[in-house]
Structure 1
């Protein structure tokens, strides 16, 4: 029995220049710090918003990440 094999072209990886990645990396870093602030310290004296709406919204995430809140 003979096997016929077709030539399969290998995909060529695309190279992304570093100067195109840096703005996205900075944006993701800032976004991560904002999320970390709201999950960890948006409560009490350091609150940016009045009321407990943000605290209640991220309450379960706060306990999941081992931040004490009460």
Structure 2
């Protein structure tokens, strides 16, 4: 007869609770960063251009097509 050894079971892991005051500044920062990046990928050309020329447009050209923005 085979002898079985019971394995101790660990308690389920409970994720640590983060206070909203600790997360909010980072959420705002990354939200603003994403909006700036979205502007440069989606609207940085023509009448709304911040920088003169087509340099930014050329840098983000493939990302524009990947996200579905028309550019030509």
Q: Per the shorter chain, which TM-score range?
A: 0.7 to 0.9
Unaligned runs of 5+ in 1: none
CA distance in 2 between counterparts of 1:11 and 1:67 reads 43
Task: Mark the structure with the bigger radius of gyration.
Answer: 2
Aligned residues: 70
Within 5 Å, give how 1:8-47 maps onto structure 2.
8=10, 10-47=12-49
Please provide the CA RMSD for this pair: 1.5
Given the two structures, how large is their TM-score scaled by the length of structure 1? 0.86
Unaligned runs of 5+ in 2: none
Given the two structures, how large is their TM-score scaled by the length of structure 2? 0.84
